[in-house]
């Protein structure tokens, strides 16, 4: 009997508690003038161009052009702060941020640090070219022109003589140089890489100049090369912005002959490439080089 009463008493108390909770919930749902329920304030969309508004050509002012001169100097200096990809990327994006505003002002300038030394020092695509390609991709709206600019940049790199840039202020990181990098002697250090790959570009230059691929001279060369490439990207983008069209330079005459035996549509000897052939296949006199 005592147990039964205790049980009924316990159930009754539970019912009162449940009823009170339901009543309180209804009152809170209905609200009251003296104690209104807290409401979430709607977030207003951010004003101005946003990073998601891609590509960014749509946000450039009418008649906008990049200035290659400060871009080259910024790229040279930034090389010593994060490598070749960082140098080209940060110089171009930084210039766009200063002269065109958002959304370039919303982008991290350190984004390109992963690409130094051919991506994490792996020796693949030269980081300065990679930085330039990243910026080209974010700016140019027309897909055909975008691909042509990228192709033209890599073909130009393969045949250009580096380094060319004479910095306005030599970076303090240039210490322990073996070679003379003064403006008057720079032409004596120049070499055509024949490839857009970091490994071939750096190794060939260092071998030709008798210096280490990990030494101060290599860095001085690549810092100036980074400036050369960043300035070239600015010129290519300006050419596109002038006409909204772009046509890449054709592949070099020697490499054209490779496509006779190795057409891109061949099923027996396919070549998925648009790059210069003679870097890896130098002997063109015997019909086919030794691989």
* DSSP code, position 162: B
Residues 74 and 181 in one domain: yes
Residue 6 lies in a domain: no
For the chain, percent of residues with pLDDT exceeding 90: 68
Residue 290 lies in a domain: yes
Residues 62 and 118 in one domain: yes
Whether residue 195 contacts residue 98, with contact meaning beta carbons closer than 8 Å, is answered with no
Q: 156-182: per-residue pLDDT in tens?
A: 999 999 999 999 999 999 999 999 999
Residues 245 and 256 in one domain: no
Residue 118 lies in a domain: yes
Residues 139 and 107 in one domain: yes
Residues 183 and 256 in one domain: no
Q: How many domains does the chain have?
A: 2
Residues 257 and 116 in one domain: no
- Tell me which residue of 180, 179, 174, 164 sits closest to 232, measured CA to CA: 164
Q: 17-64: per-residue pLDDT in tens?
A: 444 444 444 334 444 455 556 566 656 556 889 999 999 999 999 999
Residues 260 and 142 in one domain: no
Q: 57-103: per-residue pLDDT in tens?
A: 999 999 999 999 999 999 999 999 999 999 999 999 999 999 999 99
Q: What is the mean pLDDT of the chain?
A: 83
Residue 237 lies in a domain: yes
User: Where in the sequence is the domain holding 259, given as residue range(s)?
Assistant: 251-291
Residues 147 and 261 in one domain: no
Triad 19, 23, 27: Cα angle to 5°: 170
Is 0.85 topped by the overall pTM?
no
């Amino acid at each position: 009997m005592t147990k039964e009463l205790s049980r009924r008493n316990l159930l009754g108390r539970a019912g009162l508690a449940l009823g009170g909770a339901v009543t309180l919930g209804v009152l809170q749902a209905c609200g009251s003038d003296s104690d209104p329920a807290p409401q979430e304030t709607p977030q207003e969309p951010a004003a101005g161009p946003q990073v998601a508004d891609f590509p960014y050509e749509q946000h450039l002012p009418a008649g906008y052009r990049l200035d290659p001169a400060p871009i080259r100097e910024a790229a040279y200096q930034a090389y010593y702060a994060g490598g070749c990809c960082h140098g080209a990327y940060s110089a171009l994006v930084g210039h766009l941020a200063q002269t065109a505003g958002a959304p370039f002002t919303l982008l991290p300038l350190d984004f390109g640090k992963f690409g130094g030394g051919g991506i994490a020092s792996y020796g693949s695509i030269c980081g300065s070219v990679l930085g330039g390609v990243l910026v080209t991709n974010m700016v140019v709206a027309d897909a055909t022109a975008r691909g042509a600019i990228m192709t033209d940049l890599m073909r130009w790199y393969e045949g250009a003589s580096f380094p060319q840039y004479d910095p306005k202020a030599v970076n303090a990181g240039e210490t322990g140089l073996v070679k003379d990098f003064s403006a008057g002697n720079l032409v004596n250090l120049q070499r055509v890489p024949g490839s857009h790959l970091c490994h071939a570009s750096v190794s060939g230059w260092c071998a030709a100049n008798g210096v280490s691929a990990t030494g101060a001279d290599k860095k001085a060369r690549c810092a100036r090369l980074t400036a050369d490439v960043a300035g070239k990207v600015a010129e290519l983008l300006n050419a596109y912005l002038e006409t909204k069209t772009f046509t890449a330079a054709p592949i070099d005459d020697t490499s054209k002959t490779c496509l006779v035996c190795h057409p891109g549509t061949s099923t027996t000897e396919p070549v998925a490439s648009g790059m210069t052939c003679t870097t890896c296949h130098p002997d063109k006199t015997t019909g086919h080089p030794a691989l």
